Amino acid sequence: MKRTILTLVVVLTTIMNQAQQNNINSIAQVTVSGEGKIKVTPDEAIITVGVEYTGQDATEVKKKNDETVDQVIKTIKKNGIPVSDFQSQRISLYKNYDYQTKKNNYVASQTISIHLKDLSKYEALMVDLVNSGINQIQGVEFKSSKLKQYETEARKKAVLDAKMKAEDYVVVLGQKIGKAILISDTTQSSFPQPMYRNVMAKSLEMATPNETLAIGEIDVMANVTISFLLQ
């Protein structure tokens, strides 16, 4: 008996929801999309660096890699970056067959991600990291410490953009837009692409304090779809 009552409740709820949706669809309305964009000068960066060695003896390769990583970590700390702002990401040791020499090689590698919250330290940090033994720069991704604030601003701009579009459409028909009955956030998360990928550090020629960082701007985006009643 209880199961029968529960089934009836579920069926009735489904019917009511469908009826409500059909009622909404039958109301005169206009649906538009809006976009909000905020251009921001980044003040932080995520720097991903790596150490990799290849040799025929797995123990020696791993030992050499670990010694270099130790120097890299000490260098990061020396530059005033707290322990909470850097982290090992990928650590590997694997056998690789060289078809030219017909021999097995062993490759040891480790990747470290650094959250640099003061971009004025970038040049000095990178020079020190190269000198400490890194041989890979896998990415530099720019960020803003006020991202949440800018996202809120972008969302407001997106809603205003949608409202303006709706007004443009209906004014030609001699109508007005009413209250919003449906708002969908259609924003797709996107982040700045890394500046470098798989670039050997020795090719950067960073022995002198040159200006090697072009910060530029990043876009904080928001997209919405809004349905307005027609009056």
Q: What is the pLDDT of residues 184-207, one digit of tens each?
A: 998 876 554 444 444 444 444 444
**Domains in the chain, CATH or no CATH each:** 44-144+191-214 (3.30.70.2970)
Closest CA to 212 of 91, 82, 123: 123
Phi and psi at residue 187, in whole multiples of 5°?
-65, 135
Averaged pLDDT, 119-139:
94
Res. 224: pLDDT tops 80: yes
pTM to 2 decimals?
0.71
Q: What is the pLDDT of residues 72-119, one digit of tens each?
A: 999 999 999 999 999 999 999 999 888 888 888 999 999 999 999 999
| Region of residue 208 (left: phi > 0; alpha: psi -120 to 50; beta: else) | beta
Give the relative orientation of helices 122-132 and 58-78 as an angle to the nearest 10 degrees.
150
Question: What is the pLDDT at residue 81?
Answer: 96
Q: What is the pLDDT of residues 21-71, one digit of tens each?
A: 555 556 889 999 999 999 999 999 999 999 999 999 999 999 999 999 999
Q: Is 105 in contact with 96 (CB distance < 8 Å)? A: yes
| pLDDT-derived band at 131, boundaries 50, 70, 90 | very high
Res. 122: pLDDT tops 60: yes
Cβ within 8 Å of residue 24, ≥6 positions away: 181, 182
* Most confidently modeled range among 10-14, 154-158, 205-209, 216-220: 154-158
β-partners of residue 117 are none
Question: What is the pLDDT at residue 214?
Answer: 80
Res. 168: pLDDT tops 90: yes
β-partners of residue 29 are 229
Res. 145: pLDDT tops 50: yes
DSSP 8-state secondary structure symbol assigned to residue 213: -
Phi and psi at residue 49, in whole multiples of 5°?
-120, 160
Question: What is the pLDDT at residue 210?
Answer: 62
Q: Show the DSSP H helices in 96-221 as ranges.
A: 122-132, 147-171
Q: Which residue do the tokens 């996202």 mark?
A: 151
Residue by residue, DSSP assigns 13-62 as: HHHHHHHHHHHHHHS-EEEEEEEEEEEE---EEEEEEEEEEEES-HHHHH
